[in-house]
Every structure is written in structure tokens, then in C-alpha cells.
Amino acid sequence: TKMTPGDIIVADENFGCGSSREHAPIALKAAGVAAVIAPTFARIFYRNAFNMGLPILELPESLEIKEGESVSIDMDAGTITNTTNGKVYNFIPIPPFMQELIAAGGLMNYAEAEIAAQEK
């Protein structure tokens, strides 16, 4: 299956294992991936993804979502809806600061905005 911008990756446990640098989440963002959903993430990948502004969502039931099904994410409500079958899942909440990193597009953008705000 070919990726298109806005696609969401639904993966298995320990997604990102072996990725010790920020290049993996940068490549996913560059490919247009909107988010990654998995039961668990490798810790270094987890932090690098947020630092790069890539939303990753921990959902223990993610393996119930099958290839080809469509999902939508409501970050505010903390839900993932399988729009193919109507099932709604609650993902593990993202801490507020991490949500700010995603909204800013990553740590560097967040830091630049903070510095600019302090200079005013």
C-alpha cells in the first residue's frame, strides 16, 4: 500500500525500537504521516517523536485495527474512532507539555516561540 500525506500508521508493540536518533520521526513526518498508533513505543523513539512534533498515541487495542481500515483521531477528546466499523477507543492521554510540543511542531519551534515571547 502506498502512503499518502495524512495517513496514520497503526503498528505493533515497541514501535521505533532500534531508533536512537531523531531521523526516524523526521522521515515519517516528511513522508506525510499524521500520527503513529501502537500499544507501546521504544522510549528513545517516543521522546524523539515528540521533539520533532510527530504525534504518537499509545493504544493497547491498536492491533484490533486492520490494514485498510480508516481511523480518525480527536486529540481533545482523547479518542480514536475506527471509521470503518464505528468502534471508538480511548488512547493513553498525552501529558499537557507534550501536547504543546506537538501543537508547536516540535521542540525547536516551541523553544523559538518561548524565546520570542520573552523578548517582547
**Grid cell at residue 40:** 507501546
Please report, for the domain that includes residue 73, its CATH number.
3.20.19.10
* Residue 31 lies inside a defined structural domain of this protein: yes
Q: How many domains does the chain have?
A: 1
Helix (H, G, I), strand (E, B) or coil at 69: coil
pLDDT of residue 76: 85
The residues, any chain, with a CB within 8 Å of residue 22's CB and separated by 6 or more, are 48, 51, 52
- pLDDT surpasses 90 at 20: no
* Residue 66 lies inside a defined structural domain of this protein: yes
* Residue 2 lies inside a defined structural domain of this protein: no
Mean of per-residue pLDDT scores for the chain: 92
Parent domain of 67: 8-119
* Residue 3 lies inside a defined structural domain of this protein: no
- pLDDT surpasses 70 at 95: yes
Residue 7 — pLDDT band, cuts 50, 70, 90? very high
Q: How many CA atoms lie within 13 A of 111 on its CB side?
A: 5
Helix (H, G, I), strand (E, B) or coil at 6: coil
* Residue 74 lies inside a defined structural domain of this protein: yes
Can you give 8-23 as a three-state secondary structure string?
A: EEECCCCECCCCCCCH
Residue 21 — pLDDT band, cuts 50, 70, 90? confident
pLDDT in tens, 39-85: 999 999 999 999 999 999 999 999 899 988 999 999 888 999 999 99
Beta bridge partners of 41: 15
* Residue 1 lies inside a defined structural domain of this protein: no
